[in-house]
């Protein structure tokens, strides 16, 4: 085994019980009958913990529109706060990142939920901050607020939450039984926040977190999203299928973090990746082919048409999409151009598989050695600080990642073989500095307005 390197990968996993590959749940070996139950998610979290992953990640959406169309992958069958509470007693060391929306909740509620979970888990919790792109119909709103408004609210929301997490000093609980004083009232502060969206006095009802405050995660790629993430987040999730673009994004992001007076080494950029791993290349190819066969063609066509904004109803699976159907424009995202170029080489079926497989995230089909080579190549080139694994299928594709690929990364010294440190922040190099605390405290209004 190689000596552990100074800079190591941070690895998390998207907890999608259906498998991330579209329709992978149809595979005979899936545990689709247990989705929504504790047994499946517990086994996934424990497998991730045995592999020494930094954290498991629970996405969330505020609606069930995709479910009725058969788009299950993004369905939110596990509410993140509830599931993290349930898993706190079934895991010991692994971090748990849960999504909560700043558009559909209140900062005092979110601050309490994560502070309480952090206390229950001994400092293992993270918050994925999202502004939500849907869900208005379930909170009595006729329209979705525009992104600019959502992010303005999110900035103030996170500002309030971080101030609330700082309202108790670490030594506020004195447990002085002789003098009948459990908590020293002078070591708990109000924040007296009054802003555009929120009025919150504080303090919080819960003592300071064992890791100062929960880890913060953000995945926004727009200018407003990057402003929020670079101001507050410890982990940045991203969709980056190409190395050169990933390096550019990485450098830009770290500079933005530096500009905010924060330490860029303590902000980890983790693009999504789907490793389809086999002990040999042909085993990996077989697994990829088996998962591709799970795809329901009518839905894959639909997904492709929506993603590329064109009509393929007249084409056979073996046809190529004529290039003239791709009409470029200012509203086209990077992924659209990527698929347009791939369409020159791939048949309609191959392209449908490509889009369905990983939603634009990078995927690799190979042996532990070949996939580790590629992951390390990006890491060494500073295209990323680690990865968010999208498990191709559950349990098979997930177990191959943990039993074949992670040991290969450990063998080469790029990933720890055991947990070191007491909290998620310590284990993943995300410690809060004195400067970070001072920055939050500078925002307090000392007296009631
Ligand atoms: C890995 C990853 C996970 C995400 N998880 C969620 C989620 O759970 N809920 C959600 O509403 N949005 C989620 N998003 C969407 C982002 O929060 C964000 O809205 C999106 O990347 C677009 O960026 P923008 O909001 O800056 O335009 C996720 C994005 C990525 C890349």
**278-330 residue pLDDT tens:** 999 999 999 999 999 999 998 899 889 988 999 999 999 999 999 999 999 88
Q: pLDDT for 60-81, tens place per residue?
A: 999 888 888 888 888 899 999 9
**What angle (nearest 5°) sits at the alpha carbon of residue 263, between those of residues 262 and 265?**
145
Å from CA of 130 to ligand 1 middle: 6
Q: What confidence score (pLDDT) does residue 337 get?
A: 87
Q: Percentage of residues in the chain with pLDDT exceeding 70? A: 99
The helix (H) or strand (E) run that includes residue 268 is strand 268-277
Distance 173 CA to ligand 1 centre (A): 37
Instruction: Provide the angle, in degrees to the nearest 10, between the axes of the packed helices 223-232 and 147-165.
Output: 10
Mutational pocket test of ligand 1: of 77, 98, 101, 130, the residue with most ligand atoms within 8 Å of the beta carbon: 130
Confidence band for 42, pLDDT divided at 50, 70 and 90: very high
Q: Is the pLDDT of residue 448 over 70?
A: no
Q: Is 269 in the pocket of ligand 1 (CB under 6 A)?
A: no
Q: Give the pLDDT score at 449.
A: 54
- In 10 A of CB 35, how many CB atoms? 18
Distance of CA 402 to the CA centre of its chain: 18
Tell how far the Cα of 59 is from the centroid of ligand 1, in angstroms.
Answer: 9
What is the atom index within ligand 1 of the atom nearest the CA of 222? Answer: 26
What are the pLDDT digits (tens) for 328-362? 988 887 778 889 999 999 999 999 999 888 888 99
Chain center to CA of 315: 36
pLDDT in tens, 154-177: 999 999 999 999 999 999 999 999
Where would I find the H helices in 166-277? Answer: 223-232, 243-259
Q: Is the pLDDT of residue 30 over 80?
A: yes
How high does pLDDT run on average in the chain?
95
Q: What is the CA radius of gyration of the chain?
A: 23
Rounded CA-CA distance 428/131 in Å is 25
pLDDT value at position 151? 98
Our answer on whether the CB atom of 236 is closer than 6 Å to any ligand 1 atom is no
Domains of the chain, earliest start first: 10-283+360-441 (3.20.20.30)
Neighbours of 125 (CB within 10 A): 30
Does ligand 1 lie within 6 Å of residue 221's CB atom? yes
60 is in an annotated binding site: yes
Query: Does the pLDDT at position 260 exceed 90?
Result: yes
Closest-CA residue, ligand 1 atom 30, reads 219
| Strand stretches in 112-234, DSSP E | 125-130, 173-176, 181-183, 193-194, 199-200, 215-218
378-416 pLDDT, tens digit each: 999 999 999 999 999 999 999 999 999 999 999 999 999
């Amino acid at each position: 085994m190689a000596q552990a390197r100074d800079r190591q990968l941070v690895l998390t996993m998207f907890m999608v019980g259906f498998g991330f590959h579209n329709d992978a749940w149809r595979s005979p070996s899936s545990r689709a009958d247990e989705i929504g139950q504790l047994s499946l998610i517990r086994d996934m979290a424990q497998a991730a913990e045995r592999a020494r992953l930094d954290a498991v990640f629970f996405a969330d959406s505020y609606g069930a529109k995709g479910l009725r169309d058969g788009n299950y992958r993004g369905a939110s069958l596990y509410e993140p706060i509830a599931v993290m509470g349930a898993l706190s007693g079934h895991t010991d060391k692994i971090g748990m990142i849960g999504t909560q929306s700043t558009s559909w909740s209140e900062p005092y509620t979110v601050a309490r939920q994560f502070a309480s979970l952090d206390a229950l888990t001994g400092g293992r919790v993270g918050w994925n901050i999202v502004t939500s792109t849907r869900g208005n119909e379930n909170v009595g709103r006729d329209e979705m607020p525009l992104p600019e408004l959502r992010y303005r609210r999110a900035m103030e929301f996170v500002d309030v939450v971080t101030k609330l997490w700082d309202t108790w000093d670490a030594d506020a609980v004195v447990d002085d039984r002789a003098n009948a004083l459990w908590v020293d009232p002078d070591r708990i502060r109000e924040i007296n926040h009054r802003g555009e969206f929120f009025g919150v006095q504080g303090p919080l009802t819960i003592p300071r977190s064992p890791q100062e405050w929960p880890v913060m995660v953000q995945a926004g790629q727009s200018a407003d999203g990057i402003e929020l993430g670079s101001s507050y987040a410890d982990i940045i999730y991203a969709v980056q299928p190409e190395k050169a673009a990933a390096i550019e994004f990485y450098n830009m992001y770290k500079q933005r973090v530096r500009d905010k007076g924060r330490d860029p080494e303590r902000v980890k950029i983790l693009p999504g990746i789907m490793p389809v791993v086999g002990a040999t290349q042909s085993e990996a190819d077989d697994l990829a082919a088996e998962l591709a066969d799970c795809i329901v063609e009518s839905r894959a066509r639909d997904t492709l048409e929506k993603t590329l904004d064109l009509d393929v109803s007249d084409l056979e699976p073996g046809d190529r999409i004529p290039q003239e159907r791709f009409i470029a424009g200012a509203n086209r995202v990077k992924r659209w151009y990527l698929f347009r170029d791939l369409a020159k080489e791939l048949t309609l079926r191959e392209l449908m598989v490509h889009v369905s497989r990983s939603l634009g995230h990078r995927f690799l089909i190979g042996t532990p050695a070949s996939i580790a080579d590629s992951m390390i190549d990006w890491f060494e080139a500073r295209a990323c600080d680690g990865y968010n694994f999208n498990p191709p299928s559950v349990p098979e594709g997930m177990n191959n990642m943990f039993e074949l690929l992670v040991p290969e990364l450990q063998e080469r010294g790029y990933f720890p073989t055991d947990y070191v440190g007491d909290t998620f922040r310590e284990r993943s190099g995300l410690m809060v500095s004195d400067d970070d605390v001072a920055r939050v405290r500078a925002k307090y209004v000392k007296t009631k307005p």
